[in-house]
Copies of this chain bind each other. A is one copy, B any other.
């Protein structure tokens, strides 16, 4: 095991989860926690910052740290489930069908805007099904520079697991845009759309730990199966000088 403040954050998160610290309660003060865990106050503060970032607590100057109602974090305000949520429910049957797997270049609009010098990539187009129902069409452009070869077997299972676990690539961040657009005839057929020709398009650009561009993905979701949940703190309490 490793870092103290992460351990403490995990321990506190656990106690919140098991309602040892219930929603609405205040956590012990920072000096108190400092004594409890036998670490400095700064270390406690780092742990609490983690919890605040995860939305588990809210820090209020002059008062303390309040435990936030867990129901708030991802409140199922609509009863439509997302691909991910469906996937996590074990009784569901998830499947992937490879439509295309070839060499290609990253689309020019992307390579131009990011000033890419190397554009050689592997192109994978896949259809995702849940309980034999088509849900998403995924298209991926993965730079050859980092992943020279992708086999049908690898495309069949989780690419992320392959990248991170087997190749040791460290994915750090991504930018995503969500829009709603008319689908092509082939996608309409693949997703078996009947009442509409619209799909939810999620485009994401993925970058590695060393900031290099790595992957461009276009996901086209059946609109009735799409859900996106966001938990956001209000910008910058200090006036948002940044940006």
- Give chain A's interface residues, CB within 8 Å of chain B: 2-3, 6, 9-10, 13, 24, 50-51, 54-56, 58, 60, 66, 68-69, 71-78, 80, 109-110, 113-115, 171-181, 196-198, 200-201, 203, 205, 207, 209-211, 223-224, 226-234, 238, 241-243
The quantity of this chain's copies bound in the complex is 2
Residues of B contacting A174 in the complex (Cβ-Cβ under 8 angstroms):
231-232, 234
Tell me the minimal C-beta distance from A122 to chain B in angstroms: 20
A69 touches B114 (CB 8 A): yes
A233 touches B172 (CB 8 A): yes
Partner of A75, one of B55, B76, B201, B205: B205
Known contacts: A173-B233, A231-B173. The answer to whether A78 contacts B114 by CB under 8 A is no
A78 touches B179 (CB 8 A): yes
Known contacts: A10-B241, A226-B180, A241-B10. The answer to whether A234 contacts B172 by CB under 8 A is yes
B180 touches A178 (CB 8 A): no
Known contacts: A6-B238, A198-B196. The answer to whether A243 contacts B175 by CB under 8 A is no
